[in-house]
Amino acid sequence: MGKLTWKPGNMLYPLPAVMVSTGDKKGNTNIITVAWTGTICSDPAMLYISVRPERFSHHMLMESGEFVVNLTTKELAGATDYCGVKSGRDVDKWSEMHLTRGKANMLAHAPIIEECPVNIECRVTEVKKLGSHDMFLAEVVSVQVSEEYMDANGKFDLNRTGLMAYSHGTYLELGKPIGTFGYSVRKKKK
């Protein structure tokens, strides 16, 4: 099987498709869909989002230094797409998509999206201007999870939420498990 060579580009897929909620110091809020996001560090817990400076949410991120990464599900696919293609300059995404602003535990300006099963509250520690996007490095200051996905042992069952991913222009529902961390070296039971 041969290989084709393409010009340098971003082909790291799949990615989480998340809705990021933020707000400014005047009380205005917005939702932006982001796929350029990921983990940076586990101790302290940190993540990043990358946002184009011309996006409506960019000035809110810069002003408040706060945002919430709201994990999305197959049920929220339409809202996730809408919040990525419509601008908060033109529409109120909260009302158009029937999404509920919730109170963040540790943030003053950025609300959570109640309909999302996981809300990761973040405080910006650094902004890196990288070209087409600015990268917002942030410390995770609180995490809220929906009680309905807690099992009988008090463990949060993230995989039962119906998470979705984004891959090369397409939203995908995550599928069946193929293994767990460490399964390839685990000793076989007799």
Rounded CA gap, 167 and 15, in Å?
6
- Residue 6 falls within a domain, yes or no? no
- Residue 119 falls within a domain, yes or no? yes
DSSP codes of every residue in 79-142: HHHHHHHS-TTT--HHHHTT--EE--SS-SSPPEETTSSEEEEEEEEEEEE-SSSEEEEEEEEE
Domain membership of residue 71 as a residue range:
15-173
Size of the chain in residues:
190
- Residue 186 falls within a domain, yes or no? no
Contact predicate 112/120, CB 8 Å: no
Number of domains in the chain: 1
- Residue 74 falls within a domain, yes or no? yes
- Residue 10 falls within a domain, yes or no? no
Print pLDDT tens along the chain (190 aa). 899 999 998 888 999 999 999 999 999 999 999 999 999 999 999 999 999 999 999 999 999 999 999 999 999 999 999 999 999 999 999 999 999 999 999 999 999 999 999 999 999 999 999 999 999 999 999 999 999 999 999 999 999 999 999 999 999 999 888 888 999 998 877 7
pTM of the model as a whole:
0.94
CATH label of the domain that carries residue 167: 2.30.110.10
- Residue 184 falls within a domain, yes or no? no
